[in-house]
Amino acid sequence: MVKRKKGLSSQKCAKLILECIHKSSYQPITAEELFIEIHLSPSSSSTFQLAIHDLLKSNQICLRKKKLYPIRQGQEQILIGTLRLHPKGFGFVIPDERTKWPQDIFIPKNSTESAIDADLVEVAVNTHSSSEKGPEGKILSILKRAHTQLAGTIYAVHSTRELAAHVPLLGNNKPTVIRSSPSISCKIGDRVILRVDEWGSKEKPTICTVSQIIGNIIDPSCDVTATTLEFNLRSDFPENVLTEAKGFGGKVRAPDLKNRRDLTGLTCFTIDPDTAKDFDDALSLTKDEKGHFHLGVHIADVAHYVKSNSLLDQEAFLRANSTYFPGACIPMLPEELSNQLCSLKARVNRLTVSVLIKMDQDGKILHFEIVRSYIKSAKRFSYFEAKEVLDGKKKNVHAPTLQLMVELCLLLKKQRQERGSIDFSLPEISLIIDENGLPLGVKKIEYDITHQLVEEFMLKANELVALELTNRGKQLIYRVHEEPNPENIREFFALARTFGLNVSSNSTFKDIPELFQQAQESPFLSQLSIAFIRSMKLAQYSTENMGHFGLCLEHYCHFTSPIRRYSDLIIQRLLFNEEPKELDLKEIATHCSEQERISFRAENSVLILKKLRLLEKEFLKDPLRYHAAIVTKIKPFGLYFELTELMLEGFLHISELEDDYFIFDERSSILKGRFTGHVHRLGEKVSVQIVRIDLIFLESRWMLKQEQNSPKKRKRNR
């Protein structure tokens, strides 16, 4: 029997705690579990709690998701955070404690140890040096693995047991040994799930065994399934969660309408993409005899059905958001709620949370209130149909309301621009997918006035809800967007100059809206917008109100999409005091930010693969076809371009350019031929031809169309 220690001072207790958590075998545990682990007597409980408090305060240990982690002491700043690994091997650690270290930490590829994307790591930050990518650090240890299995695609079979696979989450620089199970026979192109037998290091490879074959890369029907497994997304709902969802029935019941404002007399309608099924929001708008606008933003009351800590709530938290793929969706909530009972369908009663806003003729707010309500949407508009009505191409009884919405939208947009909000939109495309997952073509999405009016009204509702909760003294989850790194902005301004835009040497953040206004008629607007986004920090969720840089708002949160975002569901509950006081909002904010990034990477992975499948199909049909593209980035080793039709990035190595010796001019960001004098520059329109498509590595190889009037080729001497 282990003798329990008693009568200890807090200093001796702290020493025992540190000895335990600095052991190489230590796995993070809760304070209660640690109390048992170091064999303290019950009488030492208060001393133990005091020691924990002192160690946390002195930054010798830290608490994450109720578990204790060690912090090594030394000359370098030691932090804990989540690694985001780039396919090229380098990465960034996002610190848990933004107050201790506000910036992401750049990790060179030789300093990642054996960590992979989404691992929780301990990182040493070099406080005396930084790179162009920001403060630099090295990973000291991996505190928690994000993955117990990996996904990959077989590209070589060396023997019956030895395989080679492209494993995106490992990046390109981590040596890996992959073995096949005796019962599984793999061939090239098989998309597989790998069990990690041994995590590698700089010296040792990661050893994996194939545990499952999902399908083959030639089969597009398994794209979403493979990606779901690769990124550990939750696809199927547990049976008990489905049972809970089905228990609400298919209709709003009479008792549900009690203590709600009846807004069925308002003319409300939804405006969404034509493929949408989960209608979070409906709009109403009238104008009184004084010229005052009465705007209603009505949001599905998901919190009425998904109660805190219910089975539905626990599952929604784990998912944190819906994930959207071309032709498919992994919803945050079961379809019984997301597509049925919570969806604001036309001509049926639905429970809502309404933000009712009274504005003067200039769009300035006179009064607003947030109430629980119920509505009956009169119409389900698609963006396309609403635009047809506004253009007079289609008659509809709601045309006057739509026209009024445009009027208010322009007023709100003007207000936003005047306060310095950055107003730009990127072109979008939608892939047309058949029932087998094969892409058939693309459809361009115009960011027209119907998209803009919905966005302006949602932004206003989100802002007012954040303001309301802040004024009540409530802790909440803000949607924050920090100011960009000044060096990134300087690089952005330099790029704008190469596009021929008028940018002074002392331009600041405040000049960015004017710059985009100047670029509206420029052929480089899309490239400028993309470059600006890349120079920005990512928006995220936080309990600290750091403001929203892009929108120029002091208070902002996500409220308008509770069917597909968990943060919005939490905000709904906070509005009506339906969250338990002990709820860890900080943990929820961190989790939602992490899951949002994972979903984005998963969505992008499938999107790129589908685009490559479409290109491959076109290549097989017409191998000699040229594609229009525009140069987006110039490097010493070649140039990057974007296909105009598909909005897909490609790369041309200098060896694929004209027969010349190209020299990189960093100051002007151009490649110039030594013999021909031909220049490649940013924004240049080029024609490119496919050489090869590689679906396994998600890569494409291209060649440049040679102009008939280009200078005579000369033999290169390299």
What domains are defined for the chain?
10-70 (1.10.10), 77-144 (2.40.50.140), 149-218 (2.40.50.700), 239-411+425-483+537-603 (no CATH), 622-704 (2.40.50.140)
Are 293 and 282 in contact, with CB atoms under 8 Å apart?
no
Model confidence pLDDT, tens digit, residues 118-177: 899 999 887 666 566 678 898 988 888 888 889 999 999 987 788 999 998 887 667 788
Are 312 and 305 in contact, with CB atoms under 8 Å apart?
yes
What pLDDT does 545 receive? Answer: 94
What pLDDT does 22 receive? Answer: 83
Are 100 and 149 in contact, with CB atoms under 8 Å apart?
no
Cα–Cα distance between 499 and 529 in angstroms, integer? 12
Task: For residue 666, give every residue at least 6 positions away whose Cβ sits within 8 Å of its Cβ, in sequence order, or none.
Answer: none
Name the CA radius of gyration of the chain, rounded.
Answer: 28
Q: At 283, which helix (H) or strand (E)?
A: strand 281-287
Cα–Cα distance between 160 and 145 in angstroms, integer? 30
For 194, list phi and psi in degrees, rounded to 5.
-115, 130
Tokens of 161: 């047991």
What pLDDT does 7 receive? Answer: 67
Distances (CA, A) of 511 to 182, 205, 542: 64, 50, 28
At 1, the amino acid letter reads M
Cα–Cα distance between 596 and 268 in angstroms, integer? 30
Can you give the pTM of this predicted structure?
0.84
User: How many CB atoms are located within 10 Å of the residue 84 CB?
Assistant: 19
Are 207 and 198 in contact, with CB atoms under 8 Å apart?
yes
Torsion on CA atoms 130, 132, 133, 135, rounded to nearest 10: 10
Question: Is 453 strand, coil or helix?
Answer: helix
For 616, list phi and psi in degrees, rounded to 5.
-65, -40
What pLDDT does 713 receive? Answer: 44
User: How many CB atoms are located within 10 Å of the residue 57 CB?
Assistant: 9
Model confidence pLDDT, tens digit, residues 368-386: 999 999 999 999 999 999 9
DSSP state, residue 147: -
User: How many CB atoms are located within 10 Å of the residue 544 CB?
Assistant: 12
Of 245, 363, 264, 374, which is closest to residue 311 (Cα–Cα)?
245
Average pLDDT, the chain: 89
Cα–Cα distance between 172 and 75 in angstroms, integer? 32
Query: Side-chain half-sphere of 79: how many Cα atoms within 13 Å?
Result: 27
What pLDDT does 718 receive? Answer: 38
Phi/psi zone of residue 234: left (φ > 0), alpha (ψ -120 to 50 degrees), beta?
Answer: beta
What pLDDT does 708 receive? Answer: 40
At 242, the amino acid letter reads L
Cα–Cα distance between 238 and 315 in angstroms, integer? 9
Cα–Cα distance between 262 and 614 in angstroms, integer? 50
Residue 479 pairs in a beta bridge with: 541
Torsion on CA atoms 32, 36, 41, 43, rounded to nearest 10: 0
Tokens of 58: 């002195």
Query: Side-chain half-sphere of 141: how many Cα atoms within 13 Å?
Result: 15
Strands (E), 104-189: 105-107, 120-131, 134-144, 149-157, 162-166, 176-179
Q: At 225, which helix (H) or strand (E)?
A: helix 223-230
Distances (CA, A) of 29 to 11, 17, 20, 26, 62: 21, 12, 11, 9, 12
**For the chain, which ranges sit under pLDDT 50?**
1-2, 708-709, 711-718
Tokens of 96: 């848990």
Cα–Cα distance between 688 and 114 in angstroms, integer? 39
- By percentage, how much of the chain surpasses pLDDT 70? 94
Tokens of 380: 């389900």
